[in-house]
Chain A
Amino acid sequence: MAQLLQHLINGLASGTIYALVALGYTMVYGVLKLINFAHGDVMMVGVYMGYATAFALGREVRGSLLGVALIFAVAMLGCALLGFLIERFAYRPLREKPRLTALITAIGISFALSYGFQLDIGFLPGASPRAFPEVIEPKEWIIIGDRDVVVWNWQIISFLIAVGLMVALQYLVFRTRFGRAMRAVSWDHRVAALMGIPTDRVIALTFMLSSALAAGAGLLYAIKDTSVSPLMGLYVGLKAFVAAVIGGIGHVPGAVVGALVLGLVEEFVVGYAASTWRDAVAFGFLILVLLVKPGGLFGRVAAEKV
């Protein structure tokens, strides 16, 4: 029983992190109908930015509240800028081209980022994973029984940050002027433009927002994993994408539910079966969902209009 509870907690903790990344996929898919393959790699770049900031701050400042806020701010702003650049120079010129073209571009960017960061030329970090500094000093906050169930402080903090960001996002999309513009662009960007919505700006802002979310999620993941590597973007990104598809891509709460489900399933496979199968679980689950409910749990398979 205690073991079950522990797995539940761990699964929820990693699920919330996936959820933040999955939200980025879903938002971009919502406005552009594009699977942003590079999303995970933007996240990875953000984690490296946070890593560099943490080292620049030094050991004392790093642990303080100000230090943590600074690390998150640098990574999220840096990623917003990166997301903006990618959208401006790679996706915008292709917006009216066939969707395959944009998809190939996205795959290309993802590949260039994840393998570019594996070079050890100049400022690039090289292929080997590095230890992420302990930004949040790990403490056991809640202990039930004789260490039967342990909840770490970073688990609670990242859960709170993730939930906070999700609530903020929900508010932004459904309660603000910008959110309404975003939903209009998602509905039909040509008509939205005719109604006086600056579609280019809305799409660029959506990209920046999703990239910033990814950076935040990536930092939480790095704190949990205590390591950074150039390939983390590929794996975390793919799993988050799977979560988004399970929830029904383009559906904001769906992405969160999908991510939590995926986090739990993964945790239970690792806990009760074998940890070496962990990476296969997400994809097996994806194929299963696509077989049974192709639109995802909450999405609908819309007939294509001609």
Chain B
Amino acid sequence: METPALPVPEARSAIPPALRGILPVLVALPVLALFQWVTNESPFAVYLLSVMGVNIILAVSLNIVNGMTGQFSIGHAGFMAVGAYISGVMSLNLKEVALSFLPVAASDQVLFTLALLVGGLAAAACGFLVGLPSLRLRGDYLAIVTLGFGEIIRVVVQNTDAFGRALGLSGIPQYSSPYMIYFWVFLTVLVARRIAGSSHGRSLWAIREDEVAAEAMGVDTTGYKVRSFVISSFFAGIAGGLFAHFVPIINPGSFTFVKSMEIVVMVVLGGLGSTTGAIVAAIFLTLLPEGLRSAFNLLGTESTLAQKVDQIRMPIYGLLLVVLMLSRPQGLFGTRELWDVLPRWIPRRRRGLS
């Protein structure tokens, strides 16, 4: 006997079904056009867009560990450094190699992708190595161990000739384009969102809310924590690889505790557990120093202040964390996403569990 077809629930959207299929394309086209226009306009805009994209990847990936799983890692820049150096060295060595059956530009991009993946996998392996011992312990140990890991990476790089010691690596081919970066941003966000909605994500949320209870309910807490750590460090490695291929030089100074803190501030500001919150905070905090700089320059009177923006930024980040924790510990969005906090008049899907 044939089972009767289940009734298809009426979609509750104001958008007509015919339009819904091409909606993403309709959204993407103007964005791409804008992109094209901006990137043609000035090299600085390209740079800023690239930095923003890398920061978004870092923030969204850190959010998987710090937000969804409730562990507190403050050594994300270490994984970024692993990805940057491994893929950078690989690209440097493969500079002269070209795949004969492809045009040069395409072959470059293929090799670049390969280098990125290798960098990401190396970072993921490091994440596994660091995560395995420390994730069996309580959260505060993880914070210290990740911080220490970042320092170890820095010391290792400074003592390895292949990584250029303290001088860093220069001459890495500039393969990164904003398109490539935002493709990876898309992938990162996709993975993060899919994890949040999956049963895997449910387990992560359970660990975040109450580890003991989660364990009692049969969640393999260590396994899930290590896995989320590995995924997170993979994307941090990718971000590092992308970063290494658009800045003229990478040195240990680019991946210090300061960088880690910057990412932590993004995640905490956006709301621990909110992917779109991390994105919004990453965009905001990337543009803020630039905005301040030009504002001070426009004012003209305190030109020294404009030069000091980068310096002043750091203590402000620290104070921002304290003030946030005291007044709004859930950050901007809490665990909600952007569309949950948008005003009511914008049509949207009914929320299921996620």
Overall SS of chain A's interface: helix
Q: Are A105 and B134 in contact, CB atoms less than 8 angstroms apart?
A: no
Neighbouring A residues of B74 by C-beta, 8 Å:
107
Indicate whether A276 sits within 8 Å of B141 (C-beta atoms), given known contacts A107-B264, A283-B152, A291-B133: no
**Contact with B322, one of A108, A242, A287, A291 (Cβ below 8 angstroms):** A108
- Would you call A4 an interface residue if the criterion is a C-beta within 8 Å of the partner chain's C-beta atoms? no
Whole-angstrom distance between the alpha carbons of A245 and B143 in the complex? 13
Given contacts A119-B308, A280-B151, contact A103 B140 (CB under 8 A): yes
Provide the residues of chain B in CB contact with A234, threshold 8 Å. Answer: 257
Q: How many angstroms from the CA of A93 to the CA of B323 in the assembled complex?
A: 12
Task: Tally B residues with Cβ within 8 Å of A.
Answer: 47
Q: Is A257 an interface residue (CB 8 A)?
A: no
Within the complex, what minimum Cβ distance (angstroms) separates A99 from chain B?
7
A290 CB within 8 Å of chain B:
yes
* Selected contact of A104 from candidates B147, B308, B325, CB within 8 Å: B325
B100 is an interface residue with CB less than 8 A from chain A:
no
Shortest Cβ distance from residue B34 to the other chain A in the assembled complex, whole angstroms: 35
A201 within 8 A of B: no
- Report Cα–Cα, A305/B169, bound state, in Å: 50
Are the C-beta atoms of A118 and B311 separated by less than 8 Å?
A: yes
Q: Please judge, given known A-B contacts A35-B144, A104-B268, A109-B318, whether A276 and B72 are in contact too, CB under 8 Å.
A: no
Q: Is the CB of A287 within 8 A of B140?
A: no
Q: Across the interface, do B144 and A241 meet the contact criterion of CB distance under 8 Å? A: yes
Say whether A196 faces chain B, with CB atoms less than 8 Å apart.
no
Nearest A residue (CB) for B70: A100
Interface residues of A in 273-306 (CB under 8 A from B): 274, 276-277, 279-280, 282-284, 286-287, 290-291, 294, 304, 306
- Per-residue CB proximity of B132-155 to A under 8 Å, as 1/0? 011011011101110111011011
A111 engages B315 (CB within 8 Å): yes
Residues 234-252 of A contacting B (Cβ, < 8 Å): 234, 238, 241-242, 245
Asked whether A105 and B133 contact (CB < 8 A) given A245-B144, A280-B152, the answer is: no
**Distance between Cα atoms of A109 and B324 in the complex (Å):** 12
A-B CB contacts (within 8 Å), total count: 129
Segment 111-154 of A: residues with Cβ below 8 Å from B: 111-113, 115-116, 118-119, 121, 127
Judge whether B159 and A35 touch: CB under 8 Å.
no
CB-based contact A100/B261 at 8 Å: no
B147 engages A238 (CB within 8 Å): yes
CA distance A127 to B314 in the complex (A): 12
Across-interface contacts of B257 in A (CB, < 8 A): 234
Q: Which residues does chain B contribute within 8 Å of A175, judged by CB atoms?
A: none
User: Is the beta-carbon distance between B320 and A108 smaller than 8 angstroms?
Assistant: yes
Distance in Å: Cβ of B91 to nearest Cβ of chain A: 26
Task: Report whether B155 and A116 are in contact in the complex, using a CB–CB cutoff of 8 Å.
Answer: no
Interface residues of B in 21-79 (CB under 8 A from A): 70, 72, 74
Residues in chain A near residue B319, CB distance under 8 A: 108, 112
For residue A280, which residues in chain B have a CB less than 8 angstroms away from its CB?
A: 151-152, 155-156
Which among B70, B159, B308, B329 has the highest number of chain A CB atoms within 10 Å? Answer: B329
**B212 at interface (Cβ–Cβ under 8 A)?**
yes
Chain A residues with Cβ below 8 Å from B318 are: 107-113, 115-116
Q: Chain B 149-175 against A: per-residue CB contact (8 Å), 1 yes, 0 no?
A: 101101110110000000000000000
Contacts A111-B261, A306-B212 hold; do A116 and B325 have CB atoms under 8 A apart? no
Residue in B152, B155, B268, B322 whose CB lies within 8 Å of A90: B322
Judged by a CB distance under 8 angstroms, whether A101 is at the interface is yes
Q: Tell me which residues across on chain B come within 8 A of A116, comparing CB atoms.
A: 314-315, 318
Q: Are B152's CB and A294's CB within 8 A?
A: no
Residue of B134, B148, B272, B308 most packed against chain A (CB within 10 A): B148
| Closest Cβ–Cβ distance, residue B276 to chain A (whole Å) | 20
How far is A304 from B211 in the complex, measured between Cα atoms in Å? 10
Q: In this complex, which of A101, A109, A242, A291 has the most chain B Cβ atoms within 10 angstroms of its Cβ?
A: A101
* Complex interface residues of chain B between 154 and 202 (CB less than 8 A to chain A): 154-156, 158-159
**Min CB–CB distance A144 → chain B (angstroms):** 34
A111 in contact with B149 (CB, 8 Å): no
A103 to B72, CA, bound (A): 9
Query: Chain B contacts of A90 at CB under 8 A?
Result: 322, 326
Chain A residues whose CB sits within 8 angstroms of the CB of B149 once the complex forms: 283, 287
CB distance from B37 to the nearest CB of A (A): 37
Q: Measured between alpha carbons, how far is A304 from B272 in the docked complex, in Å?
A: 24
Residues of chain B having any CB pair with chain A under 8 Å: 70, 72, 74, 130, 133-134, 136-137, 139-141, 143-145, 147-149, 151-152, 154-156, 158-159, 212-213, 257-258, 261, 264, 268, 272, 308, 311-312, 314-315, 317-322, 324-326, 329
Instruction: For the complex of A and B, list the 6 residue pairs with the smallest distance between their C-beta atoms, beginning with the closest.
Output: A108-B321, A112-B318, A283-B148, A111-B318, A115-B314, A116-B315
> Can you name 6 extra interface pairs (CB under 8 A) apart from A109-B318, A290-B133?
A108-B320, A111-B321, A119-B312, A238-B148, A276-B158, A294-B133
17 example contacts (A-B, Cβ-Cβ < 8 A) are as follows A94-B326, A103-B72, A103-B139, A104-B264, A104-B325, A105-B321, A111-B261, A115-B315, A118-B314, A242-B144, A245-B144, A277-B155, A279-B154, A287-B134, A287-B149, A290-B133, A294-B133
